[in-house]
Each structure stands twice: as C-alpha cells, then as structure tokens.
A and B are shown apart, each in its own frame.
Chain A
Amino acid sequence: MRGRFRILLGAAAGVGKTYRMLQEGRSAATEGVDVVIGYLEPHDRPETAALAEGLETVPRRRIDLQGVALDEMDVDAVVRRAPELALIDELAHTNAPGSRNQKRYQDIEAVLDGGIDVISTVNVQHLESLNDTVFELTGVRVRETFPDRILDEADEVVLVDLAPQELQERLRAGKVYAPARVETALANFFRTENLGALRQLALRELSEDVEARRETRVIDRAAQQAILERILVLVTPQPSSQRLMRRAWRSSQRLGADVDVLWVRRGGERLSEEQAVSLAALRRLAAILGAHFLEEEANDVIAAVRAVVIDRGTTYLYIGTPERRRLEEVARGSFLARLIDALPGIDIRIAADRGRRRELLP
C-alpha cells in the first residue's frame, strides 16, 4: 500500500515549514508512530535543530563531486529502515550527480512506494507552472522546480503561512539566515511586495487544490440537501448489530442521510462480559462511521424508538430480523406489526442475514 503524502507549502523560506514538519513528526512519535528523519535541512537554525533532537535520523549518503563532499538523502536506507513515517525536507531539491534520482521528489515517490508515509516541505515558487509568474513578480528565476502533479497527487497540502512583516522580523532576528545575509535578503527576495505576492500565490494554489479535491463532494452535497433523510439503526449488543450498522451506513451514503444508532437497555438489564464488549465495539464502529450512538433505558422498546424517531427527525428505521416469540405475538401482535403501527410515515427496513441466502436455493 502506497504511503500517505502530506506537503507543507510555504510562500518563502523562513515561514516555519521545517519546524512544522518536525512538530508533526514529534507529535506522531508521541502517539506511537515509528518516525524517522529522512532528510532535514536545519539551515543552521538552533530552534529547528533542537526540535529534531530525539527523532531518529537515517544517515545521509555522502557523494564526492570533484573533491567536494555532498550529503544527500539515502533513499534506499530510508526504504530499508521502513518506518511508518519519514520526514523529508525540501522536495524540490536537486540531488547531486551520482544520486539514485535526479530530484528529491523522485526519492520521495520511492519512499511512498515502499508503503511509508511522508511529510515534506516546499515553497510555492518551486512549482513548475508558476516559474514564469514568480520571475515576473520577483525578478528571480527559480532553477529548482517540481512538476505540478506532485501537489495534485499528494493526499494533503497544508499552507504554512506567515505575514510578510512577521517573516521580515524573523529574518532580522537572524532566525532564517545568518546575519551577514539578512540585509541583502531584505533588499531583494524578501521585500514586502515580493513576500505579499508569493503569499497570494501560495494561497491561490492551495485554494485551487482544495476546490479540486472538493468538487465531487460538493455535487453530492447538493443531492443530499434535496433529500434530507435520517436513518435510525436499532441495535443490541451482539455481533449481528455490527453488520446492521454497516449496512445502514451504506444506505446512508446513497441517501445522503445522517445516521443515529439506538440501543434500548431494558430497565435494570445487566450485560454479560461478552455483551459489554459487543456494546463497546458498536460504539467504536459508530464513531468511525460518523454515526451518533444513543442509549435509552426503557421497558417498552417500541415506545422508546418512537420517542427517538420524533426527537431526531428519523425518516428511515433499520432493524435486524426480529426474534419471533409466539406467545408474545399471540398476546400483543408481532413486534414488527406494532412497530409499523407506532411509526406512521417512517420507512422500515429489516436487514436480513445475507449468509442465509443459500437457504433459498433448491
């Protein structure tokens, strides 16, 4: 399974992409995820270096280029190490000759293909399609570019944003470049109008990306509003209710409906250990499905269901195949007949046990 790819996009160096990448890596590590630094560009920033402490770093590959030693990410070592998450800075970087790939984004693709999640960073000016625009805006021709498809194919693109004035303050405070470079940077690339233009580019790029990702869902939402269905699933703490909930959720996706899940606990009912485990599993499943789990205590199940239907605006009730109790049916009518009487105007669906379909066969 290909890893998930998250890109932290910034308008310019110094907005905090690398810092944010490390923060996310640390946070994931705290939650038990196996995280390594595949490549970190510390930019001689002490805060960044401090944040990287404690995270495992995969040793870099040293390449000798005409007597000059260059360090590059060792993509094969990262894949061999097989962490769950790799932090790889500066995806637009061009690798030294002799590296496995020409560009770092190609290294990242190899890591993703190894089933490893990746967080990476990049500035908007490196985007290939914006190369001319960036040149017109800033007068700087960016040499290191990456294809637009990399952004399109990423699972998530997040803007790391900083106002131009704040970025310039960080620059003056020596948090971005060494003091000797600050004045030149402020007079050239880091001019307020440049930073403002780049920031707008980054915001525009991100909003277009978000719109592209939302397009199909927006169409779905329009359909949802025209229907306004709401499903209620009646469950009991047993394995078959898992199937019932899942089937109701599938219907909800087709109908564009919200789902409520109801368990009616009989007054004073005590659950066995197995039932308690089943109930907890149903609650977890409801959370994964985005359903609302409701618990009511009542001796009259049908009255409790009716009250919830009215309260939640239910249009569609999902139940499992009711157990047939002959004596009760004779005395009070079947559960299903009473349910239909109690819920006029509500669709009722009885979910069958699909495993029994073969009983239909001759």
Chain B
Amino acid sequence: MRLRQSAIPWLFIAPSLIIFSIFHFFPLAILVYSSFTRWNLVSPPQFIGLENYLRIISDELFIKSLFITIIFVFSSLIVNVILSLTIALLTEKPDSKLATLCRFIIFIPYVLPDAASAGIWNLMFFPHPSSPINVLLTQLGIGWQGWIGDKNLALPTIILYYIWKNVGFSTLVYVAGLKAIPKIFYDAAEVDGADKLAIIRHVTMPLLKPITLFILITSLIAGWQSFTDIFVLTKGGPGTATTTLSIYIYHTAFGEGLAGRAAVISIILFVIILVLTIIQLKYIKSE
C-alpha cells in the first residue's frame, strides 16, 4: 500500500515526461548526431566528422541569413517597443471608449493565426499597380512598388508586417504595467511641479523598465524562430532577400536535402535561443 502511494506522483507526471523525452529531448540527440553526417533524410546518413561545421563558417548564404535575421528581429523590435509604449500612454488615461476600442483592435492581428495574418498582409502589399498600398502611392504621385516581390523592399515589408502583427501584444503588456503604477508616484511628481513629459521620462519610464525588458526578451525569442509569416509572405525570396535562419534551415534540409548541414544551423539557432531564454529566466527570478 505504501509503495503504491509513493508511485502515484510518478504516475501523474509519467505521461508528460515520456512524451517530452520521445519528441523533444531524444530528437536533440538525433540532431547533434546528424550534424556530423551527410544525410538527405531518405538514405542512411554517412559520418563525415566536422565537415558540416567547417562548411558553415565559409557559407556566404548562412552569414547572409544570419544578418537578415538580425536586421529583421532588431528593427521590428525597436519600432514595436516605441510604438506600443506610445499607444499605451495615449490610450491608458483617461480610459475613454475610443481608447478601449483602439486596444481591442490592435490586438486582433496578434490573435489571428500567423498564416492568416500574413495572407492579409499579402492583400495589402502584393506586387501589382492595383494593390491598396500602390494605389495610395500612385495617388500621392509616387510610382508603384514591388513590395514583397522587390528584393530591396521585401524585408522592410515583412518588418512592417511584424510590427502590425505584434504591437497589440506589447501595448497590452505596457497598459497592464502602467495600471500597476501607484497613483502616489504621479501625485508626488505633480506636487514637485514636473510637467507631463518630465513625469513620463523620470517616473513612468524607469518604473516600466522591467516590462520593457520582458517585451524585449520574449519578442527576441519569438522573432529569431519566426517562420510561418515569412514563408507565407515571401518563402524567403525574392532570391534570398528575406531568407532568415529558420527559412534557411527549411530550404537546406527539405529543399536541397542537406539535412546534416541544416542540423548545424539548427544547433546554432538553438544556442542563440537558449542564451536568450536563460537571460529571461534569470530576469524572471530577479523580479
């Protein structure tokens, strides 16, 4: 009876533990092993030692996709933080109906499934003179652009998409943060004769620092691995103009059949995300 009792907790966690072991921990071992092989996913892998790792260092496309990912992640993040903080401050106080409606609406793109929101962006920015954005540009006297079909504009268009998609989330996190600031802080600042901008700079901003950090790190983790939106918008193209690391992994493994080399890129991406997550955990602990 006692033995049965002590087995119960294990019974409760066993199903989850088994699933994670089979489908999440064990595959990492396969991934590491396959990074030392030449393998097309179909025929048996051939052991080739460190060749894949050495190849990666001199792989121009890998360096380029790393660079593209960094541009994508950081530029969308910076605009996102500035914009969402602005919208949060704008809509937070006083809480009018219009402000509530605004927060309700900007959250819709975030709630929508990624492939659907990317599909919607396609309808705005398709490379044709009659796409809505091009009609607007033509009216303003600027010529129509190729957007997702143009190798210089494709990445900015995706960055713009990503801001539209994610601003709602960061805004709500900021609003929650703003609501948690006790009124006393503002009253004290007002008594001291501070004007509104000074209050934002010296009272609100420092108090929102942990929230900003939270948004930065969660967006970084999500941004580095984002795949669906980019795939639906450009598939990494035109050419390789929007090939981020995750798209590059996909093309290398499943397009070119170089699973071993793709495994090396996967491991690099994993390490990047691992470091970011550990920073996040450290930060959560310190809060």
The answer to whether A and B belong to the same complex is no
Residues of chain A having any CB pair with chain B under 8 Å? none
Residues of chain B having any CB pair with chain A under 8 Å? none
